[in-house]
Amino acid sequence: MASKICAVIDYGMGNLHSAHGALQTVSPDTQVIVTGDPEVILKADHVVLPGVGAIRDCMAEIRAQGIDQVVAEVRKTKPLLGICVGLQAMMDRSEENGGVDCMGIFPGQVCFFGNDLVENGERLKVPHMGWNTVAQVKHPLWAGIADNSRFYFVHSYYVDAVNGEQVKGHGHYGVDFAAAMGEDNVFAVQFHPEKSHNAGLALLKNFLSWDGQG
């Protein structure tokens, strides 16, 4: 029997199978469940909020299914990990789709990289897709992962945080952006740890053994 349960929230907008597979791989004794059932989510020991696609669609489903209320309860008591659009949904607001109000767990905006992103005279492609280093700020989820390790990103919008103390990982692609945010028992990343080979798997393993303390 599994010693603990990790719920991957299913609201119809996430890379659920790869996230489930990676979490199960790094912790075989954990029962990883993909579910949209609030009762199951609230009983889990660890909770993951994934997300891909347009933030307006994600937030519409999150609110329609009451996932925002479930997440509000989860963050009071247990470790919560946001991935990609799951991080963006935790901010105040996104510029995408003409402006979308998000859950407001972290103060800050989600901004468009722009169609004319240039660095050192070279035009950068948007979306930002591929491997990028992340400069760490001390946090238990970075344990055993070398600073400036490379993680896999796919995004056209980036997090511009208000509170610098909540930024736990810094990225740069034409502009500086928050690659990871954290406070108390909540941690969220813009990259896809489930697609980031050893460094990403190490982060997921750290999450599943994390007690939610800084």
Which residues are catalytic, by number? Answer: 84, 192, 194
User: Which value, to the nearest 10 degrees, does the dihedral of the CA atoms of residues 60, 62, 65, 67 take?
Assistant: -160
Spatial distance between the Cα atoms of 5 and 110, rounded to a whole number of angstroms? 31
Contact criterion met (CB below 8 Å) for 131 and 171: no
Contact criterion met (CB below 8 Å) for 1 and 203: no
151-165: b (≥16 Cβ within 10 Å) or e: bbbebebbbebeeee
Spatial distance between the Cα atoms of 61 and 16, rounded to a whole number of angstroms? 15
Of the candidates 138, 132, 176, the residue with the CA atom closest to the CA atom of residue 158: 176
Spatial distance between the Cα atoms of 19 and 24, rounded to a whole number of angstroms? 9
